[in-house]
Amino acid sequence: MNSYQRFCKTAKAWDMLVQPARMGRCAHSLLLLANGRRSEQELSLLLGTDVSDLARDLQADGYLQPVDFIPSDDPETELEQRTLN
């Protein structure tokens, strides 16, 4: 798991969120929480399971897209990156 990998929802995901039964509970929850700011590690902690495989599957299906995020030792730089995404 790349703990810095971040995903955000695509338009396809936004459309699917109104039909949670079609996605399954874990996939729906992951889509709800994926906002481009939370890392895979944070998402896994929030959902109580490793979401790496599920995130990759949702990406392959066009529901998630990776977000470029470069971790920084400077908290102000990291905050600026988060507000830009």
**CA-based nearest residue to 33, from 61, 60, 8, 11:** 8
Q: Is 42 within a domain?
A: yes
**CA-based nearest residue to 71, from 22, 6, 17:** 6
Q: Is 44 within a domain?
A: yes
What's the confidence (pLDDT) of residue 85?
46
Give the pLDDT band of residue 74 (cuts 50, 70, 90).
low
Domains identified in the chain, total number: 1
- Rounded (to 5) percent helix, strand, coil in the chain: 55, 15, 30
Q: Is 32 within a domain?
A: yes
13 vs 62: CA distance, rounded Å: 8
Domain boundaries, position 24:
6-84
Q: Is 1 within a domain?
A: no
What's the confidence (pLDDT) of residue 64?
96
- Measured in whole angstroms, how far is the alpha carbon of residue 10 from the centre of its chain? 10
What's the confidence (pLDDT) of residue 78?
52
Q: What is the pTM of this model?
A: 0.75
Give per-residue pLDDT as tens, 10-68. Answer: 999 999 999 888 889 999 999 999 999 999 999 999 999 999 999 999 999 999 999 97
| DSSP element (H, E) containing 64 | strand 64-67
